Amino acid sequence: MRKPIIAGNWKMNLLQREAVALVDGLKPLVAAVDTVDIVVCPTYTALSATGKALEGANIQMGAQNVYVKASGAYTGEISPDMLKDTGCEWAIIGHSERRHILGETDALLNEKLHFALANGLKVMFCIGELLEERQGGQMNDVLTTQVTEGLKGISAAQLDNVVLAYEPVWAIGTGEVATPEQAEEVHVFVRALVKDLFGAAAAEAMRIQYGGSVKAENAGELISKPNVDGFLVGGAALKADSFAGIINAAK
């Protein structure tokens, strides 16, 4: 039985005091939840304040990105140790906005995954196709490449600290959520890829989140699918009541 994991990706939103107000509002709404892993992913500038506000709470914290070096002349980048220093246990790697806006490649994302895991972070590793790739019949090839290249050289044991997040790019921030059937179909496909690469036990244990226009209203139906193991939530994670609504729907 896989424990659902629901994470809020706050993207480039919220000043420190807004971030603290959000988690202060969220904590009482989810205090009784122990059957779901809950994670929030603030911007770098709000990590320390959010981390302090989360002390003792049943909510974990993650970063939205991480670099592949421990320290040094890498202007503007941030290391796993720096993230852990603020209270982060997780990092998101491979979000479509970093792939498509910032130009991050499968090879770089694989390097990030190796470095983050080697330095004690857990990772939500994102994959997902563009609308034209889905319509053009390339979806399975795109996902196969993202999974195969992204997870290259990772051991089955290391996979315990990896969650995959399927985020179809056409569903992100558009209000156009994948149907439960569409999500399930891809999650089954991705789990089969993990089985080919790492074996049946690793595939069975792998948690696969869905992301893209998740709301409290559609979360229950999506997570009722056997291969949907949680969510990576954008817009609806920016309000305590809507994020808690998703968590409670999943619970």
Binders of ligand 13P among 71-110, rule CB under 6 A? 95
- Work out whether 245 is an interface residue with ligand 13P (CB under 6 A): no
Q: Are 105 and 72 in contact (CB under 8 A)?
A: no
User: By Cβ distance, which residue is nearest to ligand 13P?
Assistant: 234
Q: State the catalytic residue, choosing from 97, 133, 167, 184.
A: 167
184 assigned to active site: no
Binding residue for ligand 13P, selected from 233, 240, 244, 246, defined by CB under 6 A: 233
Q: Report the C-alpha gap between 89 and 99 in whole angstroms.
A: 22
Amino acid at 240: A
Helix pair 216-223, 240-250: axis angle to 10 deg: 20
Give the one residue of 62, 80, 234, 245 binding ligand 13P; rule: CB under 6 A: 234
Give, as one character, the DSSP assignment of residue 183.
Answer: H
Shortest distance, CB of residue 70 to ligand 13P, whole angstroms? 26
Structure tokens at 111: 């390097």
From the list 48-56, 199-207, 216-224, 227-235, the region that binds ligand 13P by CB under 6 A is 227-235
Buried b (16+ CB within 10 A) or exposed e, 82-99: bbbebbbbbbbbbbbbbb
Looking at residues 4 to 23 of the shown chain, list those that interact with ligand 13P (rule: CB under 6 A).
Answer: 9
- Would you state the structure tokens that stand for residue 142, as one six-digit string? 């795109």
Question: For ligand 13P, which is the closer residue by CB, 80 or 235?
Answer: 235
Residue 219 is a binding residue for ligand 13P (CB under 6 A)? no
Region binding ligand 13P by CB under 6 A among candidate stretches 14-22, 139-147, 198-206, 208-216 = 208-216
Residue 205: count of CB within 10 angstroms of its CB: 13
- Exposed, middle or buried by CB within 10 Å (0-12, 13-18, 19+), for 77? middle
62 is a contact residue toward ligand 13P (CB under 6 A): no
List interacting residues with ligand 13P (CB under 6 A): 9, 95, 167, 172-173, 211-214, 232-236
* Catalytic residue list: 95, 167
